[in-house]
Amino acid sequence: MLKNTDKATTYSAFSDVNISTEIDNGAERGEEQQNSDIKSDLEGFNMDDFVMNGESPTVILKKIIIQVPVKKPNKQKFFKVLSGPEWEILVTVLELREEGEYYLVTKNIAPYIIGEVKLVRLNLAYYLDGTPFLIPIPMPEPDNPSKWNSWHRSLDTAVKTAMRTWIRAIPDKSSNGYILMEAMGKFQEPILPKDLTLKNYMEIGFRGRIISELDHPVIKHLMGQGHGAVAQETE
């Protein structure tokens, strides 16, 4: 019995060695396969493609302008105005005060509604976030340039000041004009579209609000020929 037991013990010992050897070989083959996979993955690997050197990644986006309000600047926001003759223009507009809207009027129609239109200078401005808007500045009467509304004159001053620095224009009834607040710190300039001209901004700002015919709904409304036509036009 002892001999048989020894044989069994001896067989068992060799069996353990064989199993251990198979496990070790399997592990080696697994490591070799893993190393082969890593080597395959690293072929063509270039560290320069990943090292940022402390730089932030550049986001390639283009801002699409779909709205350009025609209005006076918000009294609570800082704004600037683009300088240069290519960024301003004299035009005739019709203002609907209740709706807060301006209509661009062609020069051949303006004489027929002379009491409703006014000559303004449009200047392209923008807020800190880059939102553009057109500022309409009423001009003095051609036959009496010295008689210029104080509100209009101070708005003109605000626009010219905003061509060189960030300001807020705050209406002040006690002075019959605007109070200007200049930013004391330095703001980062927003990125503005480089492919847009003043004409492009005007096309967007006055889309659906151009009066070039006498039968325009706004004119009919003002002449009492089309009750409710303005509401339909501005919806």
Phi, psi dihedral angles at 93 (to 5 degrees): -130, 160
Instruction: Check: CB of residue 113 under 8 Å from CB of residue 123.
Output: no
Contacting residues for 127 by C-beta, under 8 A, at least 6 apart: 74, 77, 78, 79, 133
Residue 235 has pLDDT above 50, yes or no: no
Q: What is the C-alpha to C-alpha distance for residues 99 and 232, in angstroms, rounded to an integer?
A: 12
Q: What is the C-alpha to C-alpha distance for residues 111 and 99, in angstroms, rounded to an integer?
A: 23
Quick: pLDDT tens for 118-163. Answer: 999 999 999 999 999 999 999 998 777 778 999 999 999 999 999 9
pLDDT at 14: 47
Contacting residues for 133 by C-beta, under 8 A, at least 6 apart: 68, 69, 70, 71, 73, 124, 125, 126, 127, 205
Instruction: Check: CB of residue 201 under 8 Å from CB of residue 190.
Output: no
Residue 232 has pLDDT above 50, yes or no: no
Query: Taking residues 102-124, what's their average pLDDT?
Result: 95
Over pLDDT 70: what percentage of the chain?
74
Of residues 159, 153, 152, the one with CA closest to residue 81: 159
Q: What is the C-alpha to C-alpha distance for residues 57 and 65, in angstroms, rounded to an integer?
A: 24
Q: What is the C-alpha to C-alpha distance for residues 138 and 120, in angstroms, rounded to an integer?
A: 4
Of the given ranges (6-15, 73-82, 143-152), which has the lowest mean pLDDT? 6-15
User: 227: pLDDT confidence band, cut at 50, 70 and 90?
Assistant: low
Query: Taking residues 189-195, what's their average pLDDT?
Result: 92
CA 111 to each of CA 92, 141, 214: distance values in angstroms, whole numbers, following the listed order: 10, 15, 11
More confident residue, 48 or 33: 48
DSSP-based three-state secondary structure for 5:
helix
Phi, psi dihedral angles at 115 (to 5 degrees): -80, -10
Q: Report domain extents, the chain.
A: 1-60, 79-234
Query: Which H or E element spans position 138?
Result: strand 132-138
Which alpha helices (H) appear in the chain, and where do they start and end? 2-42, 150-161, 198-205, 217-222, 229-234
More confident residue, 145 or 64: 64
pLDDT at 40: 55
The pTM for the full model equals: 0.71
pLDDT at 233: 43
Contacting residues for 3 by C-beta, under 8 A, at least 6 apart: none
| β partners of residue 80 | 126
